Each structure stands twice: as structure tokens, then as C-alpha cells.
Amino acid sequence: MPKANPRHPDFPIPGGPELRAKGWRQEALLRLLENVLSVGEDPDNLVVYAALGKAARNWPAHRAIVKALIEMDEDQTLIIQSGKPVGLLKTHAKAPLVIMANCNIVGQWAKAEVFYELQRKGLICWGGLTAGAWQYIGSQGVIQGTYEIFMRIAERRFGGDLSGRFVLTAGLGGMGGAQPLAGRMAGAAILCVDIDPERAKKRQQVGYLQEIAPDLDTALAMIDAAVKDKRALSVGLVGNAAEIYPEIARRGIVPDVVTDQTSTHDLVYGYVPKGMTVDQVKSLRDDGQGQLMAASRASIVEHVTAMLDFQRQGAEVFDNGNLIRTQAREGGVANAFDIPIFTEAYLRPLFARAIGPFRWMALSGEESDIARIDDLLLEMFPDNRIVTNWIKLAREHIPFEGLPARIAWLGHGERTALARRVNELVASGALKGPVAFSRDHLDAGAMAHPNIMTERMKDGSDAIADWPLLDAMLLCSSMADLVVVHSGGGGYAGYMTSCGVTVVADGTQAADERLDHALTNDTALGVIRYADAGYDESFEEIAAKGIGHVKV
Ligand code: NAD
């Protein structure tokens, strides 16, 4: 039985033992599609997160996808082109059930303006990373990544945690909404600015944000008190980051850590320029795109100038993956790239070992299934400090949204071992239903994104998109259930290509084989990608785990 969804009553949360499709593999993908809408930001318009990241091209396309998933046999493959199903063809039971290509535009044409025009004509939609691939699990999906970044900063600069430290950030949307909780879990007093009061309220309702301050003075006083008491606290403030950041700088206050997760990547559908309301922006989206782009960029210039100011005064400042530096540089801030990107600054040694955000969703809808898998993780990886620390924290702090799910940073071999054990638990009836495994597209072999994931690679291979394409082909050859290739849409047009994968543990022997091949090969390619770029950690991993790397 689906569960009521208080946030979006028309989009119930899937679950229960009854199948509508002909098998659990198809049913699983259907439930994941339903789930991304149930936890999405604007499901009425199929928007899941990141301003424009959509689950399907339009409602007729969505209905056709649902019909196909319900009616298709296990030996067929559904083909989806930018959120629209275009074919249901006979393949074989070991082939993917769904393959997708979302928003891939030929190089010279891959520009925001071209994307908007194609979107207006109904020819394309952007899938974000996890929206179009039906893998999004709400703000919980990014929270460990955000937490790990805060902890790396804490270890390097602040003696191990962020207690007594002021973190300033902005953006309380689908992904940015994880920041207040991640900050609090790291011990910080974190101030999160968002222009849209509804987004702040939403994060408070789901338990990610504690307080909403009525004005900047009150917000700063609350933060100041928490810093003095070394008390973890998250405070939201409704306002424009392009005004609030410079105002904090003008007052001579220097936070310890500064970042931003507003949708700066999209100057039309994402960022709200200074002096405008959300509704004013909406009214300009069709006819005033040029005006909106110029105004957004001018505001981002002020926003980033304040961030650079904080950096000069000693704050730890980083780009959290939203192209904010790129937009500012285009607007004339020549030194915007003095701000480092989080991947290179904090996470690359993990990615070089293909340790990255791996996630699983309990298709039964039962939280007890996730609790059982949490126990399993602690049993299987007692010496993995990142995992054990994370699971204990996640259990205590993270409320479930939509289908109960968990994310944990696991690497080569670990993902496969966990998923195969889970498949056994499904088979034995120890879990109430099958479990779907996927990972973020921001993963070792899965993404080329020269201003985010692959910035300043050791060998200069930042912009080479062969890796995610190879990953997708390898995953199709390795029996994954869903394989997708995405490129950037909106302001991300031309900036990235990534690959996503989902594999369903339905307790069968065939699922065991699929999980083994797909998850093992996915991370193997990730390690090989970094070895190819010359990272020592990758060579160690290849030697330790016997990965089939061909050295030329
Ligand atoms: P979203 O569109 O759901 O939310 C963006 C939020 O920014 C909204 O709440 C909006 O009201 C607010 N906002 C816009 N302009 C503002 C302004 N001038 N001042 C204050 N608030 C403003 O997007 P999201 O899913 O939260 O993603 C945010 C950004 O992070 C995107 O660019 C996305 O691509 C990027 N991202 C990074 C990672 C990562 O791994 N680091 C992961 C996912 C997304």
C-alpha cells in the first residue's frame, strides 16, 4: 500500500508487497519514479530538484513510462530519450530494463540558450543527476557528502569538529537543504540564507533545519550565542545571499567556513537576483530571459566578491558544486577561481579509490529494512571509520523522506559485498521487500565535469567525457537494471556528462549475478579512471584488490 505524503498529497510514497508490474525489477523502477516525485521540490511540474531537474519530459511522457513499466516483460528494454519513452524493444532477461540518454547536446550547441529553446519546443528536458534517472532520495541523498566536506575542513583547520565555529551558506532547496543538518551533525552553528520562505519552512518541517530567524540581527545573535556555547545549531534566514553576504562582511564579521548552494548554475530558472522576488523572476522566465541572465550574473558577482572577501580574511571558503565561480568569472571576477572546488579540495583521495556516495532504497517502504541494513553495515565494516561513524550519526539525526533510504560512502568490493548480502536477506525473508541500489552520478568513473568533479585532474584530463560513456556501456554489458547518460541542462549545458546506474536486489540468483557484475565493474572503472590520471591511491587499490587495469 502506498503511504500518505503530507508534503505532496497527490504523490503518495510507494510501498507494500503488491506488484502492479510483471516482476519486481519493473516494479522497482516504477516505485523509484514515483519516489522521486514524492520527495521532489515541485512534482506538479515534474521538477525534482536543482531548479529544472525533471523526472520525465511532460505528463503524457510520464504516463507512457508508467504504462510501459507495468506492461513490459523482463526480456524487453525501454528506451528513454530526455524524459520521453521512444521504444520498447525485445532484448533478453540479462539486458537492462531501461536505458536512458538525457539532455546530451552536441558540443558547439551545448549552451544554456539552446537548451532553453529546445525545452520550449518540448524536445528535451534536463534530468539533473538523479531526477531523470529516478534515483533522487531527497536531501538525505547529499547529506553524507556535505557532512564529509565539513569534517575534512574540521580535521584540517579546527581540531576535529566544528563546535564553536560559524558556517555561512545559502540555498535550502532539494540538495542545499541538507546543509543545516550536515552542519549541525559536524557540531557547527550554521546560518543558511534562502530567498524563498517556503523552502525554509519545508526544511524545518522535515526536520533538517531547526530555527528560522526573523531578521539578520536576530540570526547573527543566535549564531553568536551558539558559537560561544560551542552548541550545534542551524538557523535559516529568508533573504538574498547577494545582499546578506556583503552585509555580514560590511559588519566586519568573518565566518569560519563559507560556501553556497543556491542554484547559481541556472541564471534563468535557478538564481534569484538581488532586488527581485521569486514571483517577479517567474514572470520574466519566458519573455525576459536576457534581462534575468544579466541581473543574476550581476548579483552573483557581488555574492562571490563577498566570499572572496571572507577568504582573504581567513575563512575557509569553497564552491559546493553549483558553478558559482564560473558564473562570477563570466561576470568579470577574474580571481573567482581562488575559491577551491570541494571535490578537489577535500574528496579526491576518496574518489581515487572509487569511494563515493552509494545508496539503497527499501522498496517495501518499511523503515525497519533500512535499520536491518544499517546493522549489516556495522557488522561487515567494523573497521571502516567513515562508515561506522556515519551510520551511527545517520540513525540518530536523519529523518526519512519518501521511500526509506540510506547513503554511505563505500568503495570497490565493499558495495558489491553489501548488496549481495542484502540480496540474501531479501531471499530469506529477513527484509520485508526488495532493495534498489544506485549511486550518485558524482562518482569516480561516472562524471566528467571540469568545474566540479574533474577540476585540475593530475594529468589535465578534466574535460574528457569518455569515462562516463565507457561506464554506461560497461554497465549495460554488466547486466545493470537501469543505465543512463546525462549531460548538463539549463546553465549546466556544455559543462558536464555523467552516467547513472540502478540495480535491484530482488532476492533471486539472477539479481546476485547482476549486482556482482554491475557494482564491481562500476567501481573498477572508477579506480582505473584515476589510475589513468596518475593518482597513487588508485595504483594501491589496483594492487590490493586485483583490479584488471591495463597499463600502457
Ligand atoms: P534548488 O533549485 O532545489 O534550490 C536552490 C535554492 O536556492 C532555492 O531554495 C532558492 O530559493 C534559493 N535561491 C536562489 N537564488 C537565491 C539567492 N540569490 N539568495 C538566496 N537563496 C537563493 O537546487 P538544489 O537541488 O538545492 O541544488 C543547489 C545547487 O547545488 C545546484 O546548482 C545544484 O546543481 C548543486 N548541487 C551540488 C551538489 C554537490 O554534490 N555538491 C549536489 C547536487 C546539487
Residue 314 class from Cβ within 10 Å (0-12 exposed, 13-18 middle, 19+ buried)?
exposed
Using the predicted structure, report yes or no on whether residue 1 has a pLDDT greater than 90: no
Q: Flag whether pLDDT at 130 surpasses 90.
A: yes
Q: Which three cell numbers stand for residue 482?
A: 537501469
Whether the pLDDT of residue 528 is over 90: the answer is yes
Compute the Cα dihedral for 136, 139, 140, 141 and give only its sign.
positive
Q: How far is the CA of 236 from the centre of ligand 1 (A)?
A: 15
For residues 323 and 536, what is the distance between their CA atoms, to the nearest angstrom? 28
pLDDT higher than threshold 90 for residue 385? no
114 and 216 housed in the same domain: no
Give the pLDDT score at 241. 98
Q: Which atom of ligand 1 is nearest to the CA of 266?
A: 32
Choose the residue to mutate in 49, 175, 196, 492 for probing ligand 1, maximizing ligand atoms within 8 Å of C-beta. 175
Question: What is the number of the ligand 1 atom nearest to the C-alpha of 193?
Answer: 20
Among protein residues, the one whose CA lies closest to atom 23 of ligand 1: 50
* Residue 130, in any domain of the structure: no
Whether residue 63 is found in the same domain as residue 203 = no
* Partners of residue 190 on adjacent β-strands: 167, 234
Q: Ligand 1 center to residue 400 CA distance, Å? A: 21
Query: Is residue 12 situated within a structural domain?
Result: no
Helix H or strand E encompassing 541: helix 536-545
Nearest atom in ligand 1 to 51's CA? 2
116 and 165 housed in the same domain: no
> Looking at the predicted structure, is the pLDDT value of residue 303 above 90?
yes
Identify the domain boundary among 311, 340, 369. Answer: 340
Q: Does 214 lie in the same domain as 359?
A: no
**Residue matched to cell numbers 525497519:** 368
How many angstroms separate the CA atoms of 26 and 36, rounded? Answer: 16
Instruction: Find the 227 Cα to ligand 1 centroid distance in Å.
Output: 26
252, 105: one domain: no
**Tens of pLDDT, residues 329-362:** 999 999 999 999 999 888 999 999 999 999 999 9
Give the position, in ligand 1's atom list, of the atom nearest the Cα of 320: 41
- For residue 374, what are the domain limits? 347-484+498-544
Distance 266 CA to ligand 1 centre (A): 9
| DSSP output for 289-320 | HHHHHHHHHHHHHHHHHHHHHHHHTT-EE-B-
State phi, psi for 410 to the nearest 5 degrees: -125, 160
User: If you take atom 14 of ligand 1, which residue's CA is the nearest one?
Assistant: 271
- Give yes or no for residue 386 having a pLDDT over 90: no
Give every CB contact of residue 250 below 8 A, 6+ residues apart in sequence.
none
Quick: pLDDT tens for 43-81: 999 999 999 999 999 999 999 999 999 999 999 999 999
- Tell me: do 321 and 439 sit in the same domain: no
Cα 327 to ligand 1 centroid, rounded to whole Å: 14
CA torsion sign for 248, 249, 254, 259 is positive
* Contact call for residues 496 and 326 (beta carbons, < 8 A): no
Q: Per residue in 219-252, pLDDT tens?
A: 999 999 999 999 999 999 999 999 999 999 999 9
Residue type, 361: M
**Residues 177, 270 within the same domain:** yes
Residues 285 and 422 both lie in one domain: no
* Cα 50 to averaged position of ligand 1 atoms, centre (Å): 6
Residue percentage of the chain with pLDDT more than 90: 96
User: What mean pLDDT, rounded, does the chain reach?
Assistant: 96
C-alpha 244: how far from chain center: 26
Residue 296 within any structural domain of the chain: yes
Asked whether the beta carbons of 139 and 208 are under 8 A apart, the reply is yes
Ligand 1 center from residue 389 Cα (angstroms):
27
CATH of the domain at 531: 3.40.1770.10
Helical packing angle, 536-545 and 509-532, nearest 10°: 140
Residue 34 inside a domain? The answer is yes
Nearest ligand 1 atom to alpha carbon 278: 11
If you write DSSP's letter for every residue of 146-182 in order, what string do you get?
HHHHHHHHHHHHSTTS-TT-EEEEE--STTGGGHHHH
Number of domains in the chain: 3
The ligand 1 atom nearest the CA atom of 273: 18
- Looking from the CA of residue 176, the nearest atom of ligand 1 is 26
Question: What local confidence, expressed as pLDDT, does residue 7 receive?
Answer: 87
- Give the tens place of pLDDT for each residue, 132-185: 999 999 988 889 899 989 999 999 999 999 999 999 999 999 999 999 999 999
In the block, residue with C-alpha cell 563577498? 306
Q: Which residues line ligand 1 (CB under 6 A)?
A: 41, 49-51, 142, 145, 170-176, 193-196, 199, 240-242, 261-265, 270-272, 320-322, 442
Q: How far apart are CA 503 and CA 522, in angstroms?
A: 12
Q: Which of 305, 340, 375 is the last residue of a domain?
A: 340
User: Alpha-carbon distance 436 to 105, whole Å?
Assistant: 30
Cα of 196 vs centre of ligand 1, distance in Å, is 11
What does the pLDDT look like over 449-508, one tens digit per residue?
999 999 999 999 999 999 999 999 999 999 999 999 999 999 999 999 999 999 999 999
pLDDT at 388: 93
Same domain for 97 and 150? no
* pLDDT at position 317 over 90: yes
310/330 same-domain check: yes
What distance in angstroms lies between residue 257's CA and the mean position of ligand 1's atoms?
18
Do residues 502 and 405 share a domain?
yes
Span 112-116, mean pLDDT? 96
Please count the helices (runs of H) and the strands (runs of E) in the chain. 19, 17
Task: Note whether 408 and 537 are same-domain residues.
Answer: yes
- Please give the single-letter amino acid code of residue 64: A
Q: Which atom of ligand 1 is nearest to the CA of 492?
A: 34
* pLDDT value for 456: 96
Give residue 26's pLDDT. Answer: 98
Cell for 41? 521540490
- pLDDT for residue 404: 97
